[in-house]
Structure 1
């Protein structure tokens, strides 16, 4: 779920965790992608860091 939200936000030029969190609360597309749940910005930040770590390891 978070990967879809993060990739869609990046495609629209939103890269900050707080901005992505705001999109999940206010934008219909992101509400649908997130399954009507609003991830906390620290969760988004942690998942981005995890993805970067996995990219380096793989």
Structure 2
């Protein structure tokens, strides 16, 4: 599964911000809460620096 196909609730590791959880997703961006920094960041869905920690699949097809 690519990082551009993840649903809210998925957990990712970012090289700078550490582990975070996807709060919401739109066509191009994720809003991710990062535990280490206690911040919410908006990052591009196609960013290739994420490592998937725990994947959640969308309940419905994602629009592209």
**Structure 1 length as normaliser, TM-score?**
0.26
Question: Which has a greater percent of strand?
Answer: 2
Question: Which has a greater percent of helix?
Answer: 1
Name the structure, 1 or 2, with higher relative contact order (CA <8 Å, separation 6+).
2
Higher Rg: 1
**Structure 2 length as normaliser, TM-score?**
0.25
